[in-house]
Amino acid sequence: MEDKQNTFNQTNGYAMQYGIILGLWSLCGLACYVLSFRLPILSVLCDLLLVCSPVLAGYLTICFRRKVMIPELGFTFGRGFGFTFLMGVYATLWIALGTYVYLAYFDNGYIFNQIENMMSRPEFVNQMRQSGTWDLMMNEYGSVQKFVNTMRSFGASAYAGFFIYITIFTAPVVSAIVGLIAKKSPNWIIPQK
């Protein structure tokens, strides 16, 4: 039992450390999103950072496996799953904290003003009409300003909590995939005669 507790403590400790890396990676993606309203090319970088987050989680899990794996014991799916899940939770805490601090103390409505400006452009309205979302939004809110005001009405904590909520649903799936990829069978040493 003590060995399992030590294994969990080790996994949890590394997950905290690597969660900082994954969290900072994601905060960079969110910073690119905010800056993309001024420099549209950064939206590509934002998308790239978002899409590559599970790849980074897999890479960090492989790095963890290299550091802690004993060849005779291997690296189990459970340990890979647990590490990736915990790392995602710790990363999300950093993301939620960064989101809350930014929206509560630095944003001053910038993002919502930019969204309102973007949604008022004729080319954006045409794209939304083609996809059918414009009619849904107009039926629900009546105008772009009412829609954006509804977004403004949520506090910074709601947006920070959104990241935690999303992680609850996505982390198990990502963790299972990474756990399967990171799994490594033990190396059985056959004694030589």
pLDDT (tens digit, 9 = 90+) per residue, 163-193?
999 999 999 999 999 999 999 888 765 555 5
**Which stretches of the chain score pLDDT less than 70?**
1-2, 188-193
Joined tokens for residue 43: 């939206």
User: What local confidence, expressed as pLDDT, does residue 174 receive?
Assistant: 96
Q: What was the pLDDT predicted at 188?
A: 62
Q: What is the pLDDT of residue 190?
A: 55
Q: In the chain, what's the furthest Cα-to-Cα distance?
A: 83
What pLDDT, on the 0 to 100 scale, is given for residue 134? 86
Q: Where are the alpha helices (DSSP H) in the chain?
A: 2-35, 42-68, 77-101, 110-119, 122-131, 133-141, 144-153, 156-182
Give CA 189 to chain center in angstroms: 40
Pairwise CA distance, residues 40 & 32, whole Å: 9
Sorted by where each begins, the domain ranges of the chain are 2-182
What whole-number distance in Å separates Cα of residue 91 and Cα of residue 88? 5
| Per-residue confidence (pLDDT) for residue 43, from 0 to 100 | 93
Residue 154 has what DSSP assignment? S
Torsion on CA atoms 104, 107, 112, 114, rounded to nearest 10: -170
What pLDDT, on the 0 to 100 scale, is given for residue 73?
82
Q: pLDDT at position 3, please? A: 72
